[in-house]
Homo-oligomer: A and B are copies of this chain.
Amino acid sequence: MKFQYQNSYNIKEEIERSKIAILPVGAVEAHGPHLPLGTDNFLAERLSDKLAEVVNGLVLPTLPYGQVWSLRQFPGSITVSNRSLISYINDIGESLYRQGIKVFAMVNGHLGNGTALKEAARELYETCPKMKVLYLFYPGMNKAAEEVRETPSSHGTYFHACEIETSYMLYLAPELVEMEKAINDIPDIPLSADVTPTPWEEFTETAVLGDATLATEDKGIYIIDIALKNMVQLIEAAKQETEQN
C-alpha cells in the first residue's frame, strides 16, 4: 500500500493496522550504458512494493538522492552529503514516530547510502525510543550471489551495474534494461581504494564493475527472493519486539 495515495481520513487507521513504514532510498548515479541513472531508485522502490505486500507495510515515496561520492564525477550523477542525508532522514523518522509508526524500515538500493542510514538510525534510536529503525541493503545477498555468479566479484563489498545488479534489474525493472548495450568490463580495483578516498574514475571509465552481459532474470530472482525473505523476517521480528514493549 502506497502511503501517499491514501488520504488523511483513512491513513490513521492504516497506520494502526500496519505500524510499518517502508522508505525506499536510492540515488541518481551513473550505471553504465545499459542501465538508467535511476537504477537504485527503481530497485529500492520495487523491492519495497514486494516487501510491503508480504508484511502489510506502508510504502513511502522514494527518497531519490543519495550519497554518490565515488561516482560523482560521472555524467548524470547527483550526490548529497552524508550530513544532509542524515538530517533529512531524521526529520522524516521523527514525523513517522509522531504518526504512530512502530517499525521504520529503510530499503536501500545504493551501497553509498549505508553510512548515512546507519547513523540516522542511531540518532533515531535516541529520539524515538519506541520505534525500531531498520536499514536494509539486500540482507543475505553476499552468500546468495556467490552461489549464482559466473564471474568473481571485482571487490569485497562493491557491486555496480554488473552481473549481479543487472540481474536485479532484469527481475524487478526489465523494461528499463537495455541488455544489448551491456558490456563486460572487469576493473582492476587497487587495494588502496579501501583505505584512501578513491573516485571511481581512477579505475573505471564505464562505471560497470564486472560482466553485465552475464546477467539474467533468474539470477536476480534467486538473490532478491532470499534478500526479501530475510527482510520479511527482520521486519516481523522488529514488529513483534515493539509489541512486547
Contacts and interface: CB of A to CB of B under 8 A. Distances in A.
A11 B178 CA distance: 15
A194 interface: yes
Given A31-B8, A35-B7, A234-B192, A95 B75 contact: no
A223 interface: no
Given A61-B28, A196-B134, A83 B87 contact: yes
Given A76-B99, A139-B195, A11 B37 contact: yes
Interface string A94-135: 011011000000000000000100110110010000001111
Nearest to A208: B8
A148 interface: no
Interface residues of A, number: 78
A14 to B, nearest CB: 9
A5 B36 CA distance: 5
A12 interface: yes
Interface stretch (A47-55, A62-70, A212-220): A62-70
A28 B60 contact: yes
Contact of A75 (B11, B30, B32): B11
A38 B72 contact: no
B65 A92 contact: yes
Contacts of A81: 87, 91
Contacts of A5: 36-38, 176
Contacts of A80: 88, 91-92, 95
Interface string A79-90: 111111101101
Contacts of A85: 88
A108 to B, nearest CB: 10
A244 to B, nearest CB: 14
7 contacts: A7-B32, A15-B76, A69-B122, A84-B88, A87-B87, A87-B88, A134-B195
Please name the 9 residue pairs, one residue from A and one from B, whose CB atoms are nearest each other, closest first: A4-B38, A8-B30, A61-B64, A11-B76, A80-B91, A84-B87, A12-B75, A125-B197, A78-B95
